[in-house]
Amino acid sequence: MAQTVCCPAPTALANIVTSTIVCPTEFGQIRKLIFWRRGNALDAVASAISSTVFTAYLSATDDTKMVVSPYLTLVIPPSEKREAGSGSEVPNGIPISLGSNPVMGEGMIWQKAQSEIAALKELGCEYLDVMFVNESNQLGYRLNGAAVEGFPIHSLFVSDIGVGSFDEGTRNTISMYFEPNWSDGFRITEATTFLLNSVNA
């Protein structure tokens, strides 16, 4: 995704910090993923912490159905910049910023039944959004206006099983790509009592 070109420039710079009391953002370890088809959304943040709402989506039989992953770990690194030009190609040898690259999240799924893994692999042909559940039972989601959405993912890959190692144990790997600027709408709910225990009906 290209960097925004500010032309014409706004009358004034947009506000960044508007309060002297700003809570830090710390999501912690991702422990579960919630997938659903792209275009779905919850109508409000209150719905994102309602077990009744989630139960309905997890048991749905239509295009709104959510599916939940087994327990896992997933690490998403910061994105890296895209640049063009160097040396005499550009004024003063300063590269031109073109925005950011997509970023790949990678993780491990330990000691899980391969029937669950096979079902995860089937998601690779879908156009999906994903939300995250951390170890504190909080949901990581994308806020779009008032709507609660997932983050679009691409090239979802789930590996075959890795076995036979004395030191590494039985595991599968999982990876997916996130679009440039994917986290601009990232928000975290308050802690729930149900997300980590969620299963499909």
Q: What is the pLDDT of residues 95-110, one digit of tens each?
A: 988 889 999 999 999 9
| Domain count for the chain | 1
Q: State residue 5's pLDDT score.
A: 73
User: Residue 116: in which H helix or E strand, if any?
Assistant: helix 114-122
Sorted by sequence, the CB contacts under 8 Å of residue 96 that are 6+ apart come out as: 83, 84, 85, 90
Angstrom distance (rounded) from CA 1 to CA 129: 18
Q: CA 58, 122, 132, 15 torsion: positive or negative?
A: negative
Cβ-contact 173, 110 below 8 angstroms = no
> Is position 163 within any domain?
yes
Q: For residue range 110-145, list pLDDT tens digits in order.
A: 999 999 999 999 999 999 999 999 999 999 999 999
Q: Give residue 24's pLDDT band: very low, low, confident or very high (50, 70, 90).
A: confident
175 lies in a domain?
yes
Structural domain boundaries enclosing 116:
32-83+95-197
Confidence of residue 49 (pLDDT cuts 50, 70, 90): very high
List, for residues 169-196, the tens digit of each pLDDT value. 999 999 999 999 999 999 999 999 999 9
Domain-embedded: residue 50: yes
| 161 found inside a domain | yes
Question: 60, 71 in Cβ contact below 8 A?
Answer: no
Q: What is the pTM of this model?
A: 0.90
pLDDT band at residue 164 under the 50/70/90 scheme: confident
Domain assignment present for 88: no
Q: Identify whether 23 is part of a domain.
A: no
Phi, psi of 115 (to 5 degrees): -65, -35
Helix (H), strand (E), coil (C) string for 119-176: HHHHHHHCCEEEEEEECCCCEEEEEECCEEECEEEEEEEECCCECCCCCCCCEEEEEE
In a domain, 140, yes or no: yes
Give domain status of residue 6, yes or no. Answer: no
